[in-house]
Amino acid sequence: MLKNTHDTTVTVTGAAGYFGAVLCRKLLAEGYRVRAVDNLRYHGEALLGLLDEPGLTFFKSDVRDDRAMGQVCAGADAVVHLAALVGEPVCRINPAETEAVNDRATRSLAKIAAEAGAGLFIFSSTCSNYGKSEDGRALNEEDTLQPLSLYSETKIAAEQALLHTNYGVMRAVVLRFATLFGVSPAMRFDLLVQEFVRDAYVTGRLEVYNPQAWRPFLHVADAAEAIVRVLKAGTPSSRVYNVGDEALNSRKAGLADYVLSLVPGAEMLVNDTKADPRDYRVDFSRFADEFDFRATRDLRQGVEQIIRLLRDGIVSDPFSKRFNKV
C-alpha cells in the first residue's frame, strides 16, 4: 500500500500539458508531494501558479533522457506517465519521435521507476486504441484493439510491454481514457469538444464528419480524479482499465446538438468528403466498479464552460497555434 497522501511523492511526466496541469493541481490539493516533469515543448505557463507551492518540485527534463528520469524517480512512491506526442496530426508529422517518446521511452521509464523503488506506475493511454466497433456495442478491455493511427499503435505497443513485464513489487496500471474535454491551464482547442465549440462560436459553422459515429468523452477534472482513485487504492493489480462514463458515450451529432443549443445562430454542416473511420462506444464498468468512479461533469457543463472562455475574452484567439498541437 502507498503511504498517507502527505507522505507520498508522485512523479508526473507531461506535467505542463493539458491533462498534466490539471492533475498536478489536483494532487497538490489532495496533499501529495509532486515532482512535475516536462520538457516544455508546448511552453510552461500552465505551471506558473504552482511554482510557490511547497509540495511541488519542477524538473525540466525529457522522458527520453534515462539519467534525468532516474533522478526524478528516485524516492518517488508512484509515477504517473502522461508525457507523449498526442493525437494523429502531430504523430504523423513526427513518426520517429512518436515511436521514441510514446513507446520506447515508456518502457524505459517503467524499468527506471521500478529500479528506483516506486510501487506504482500509471500509464495514460487512450480509448482510441479500439478504433472502430463493428457491431456498435460498447467495447470492454478484453475486446480486440484496432489502431487506426500511429498514435494508437504506439500506445498499444507501450501497453503490451507494461502488462507483460515483471517489475517486481511495482504494479503497472494502464488507463485508457475517453476523449478529454474541458478547461485547463494548458488549454487546447484541437480536442473534439473544444473544436466544436470554437468553430460554432467563432465562425457560426460547425462542420461534422461522420455525425453518427460514437465517441466516449470525459472531463479533464474527472480524469484527474480517476488518477487519484488509483493512487489511493495503493498498489492494485497490473491490468488495463477503460476510464470514462457510460453516460458520456455520445454520437458526434449528439455533441453537435449540445453545442448548437447553446450557440444561437450557428449551423451544422455535414461533410462526407473527409473520412474519419473512428467509431466506438466503450464499456467503463471495470474501472467504475473497482474504484467506485463516476463522472461528475457532463458534456453540457463542459460546453458551457468553454463558451464562457470565449464569450468573456479569456481566450481571444482559439485558433492560435499555442492552443493546438499542430
Mean of the per-residue pLDDT values of the chain:
94
Residues in the chain: 326
pLDDT of residue 74: 97
Domains and CATH numbers, the chain: 5-180+218-246 (3.40.50.720), 182-216+247-281+296-323 (3.90.25.10)
Cell 513526427 -> residue: 94
Least confident of 13-17, 32-36, 57-61, 270-274: 270-274
Cell 493541481 -> residue: 25
pLDDT of residue 88: 83
The count of C-alpha atoms lying within 13 angstroms of the C-alpha of 80, restricted to the half-sphere facing its C-beta, is 28
Judged against a pLDDT cut of 50, whether residue 270 lies above it is answered with yes
Nearest 5°: the CA angle 243, 249, 251 is 145
pLDDT of residue 324: 86
Judged against a pLDDT cut of 70, whether residue 29 lies above it is answered with yes
Give which of 245, 249, 250 is closest to 294, Cα–Cα.
245
Within 10 Å of residue 108's Cβ, how many Cβ atoms?
17
Q: What is the DSSP letter of 144?
A: P
Query: Residue 1 — very low, low, confident or very high, per pLDDT cuts 50/70/90?
Result: very low
Within 10 Å of residue 205's Cβ, how many Cβ atoms?
11
To the nearest 5 percent, what fractions of the chain are helix, strand and coil? Answer: 40, 20, 40
Instruction: Decide if 61 contacts 37 (C-beta within 8 A).
Output: yes
Task: Please report the beta strands in 182-326, taking only residues with DSSP state E, as ranges in sequence order.
Answer: 205-208, 214-219, 240-243, 249-251, 267-270, 281-282
Judged against a pLDDT cut of 70, whether residue 275 lies above it is answered with no
The amino acid present at 298, given as its one-letter code, is D
**How does pLDDT run across 98-107, given as a tens digit for each residue?**
999 999 999 9
**How does pLDDT run across 179-200, given as a tens digit for each residue?**
999 999 999 999 999 999 999 9
Give which of 132, 130, 177 is closest to 153, Cα–Cα.
130
Q: Give the cell for residue 199.
A: 468553430
Instruction: Decide if 85 contacts 127 (C-beta within 8 A).
Output: no
Dihedral angle, C-alpha 279, 284, 285, 289, nearest 10 °:
180
Q: Is the dihedral of CA 39, 40, 41, 47 positive or negative?
A: positive
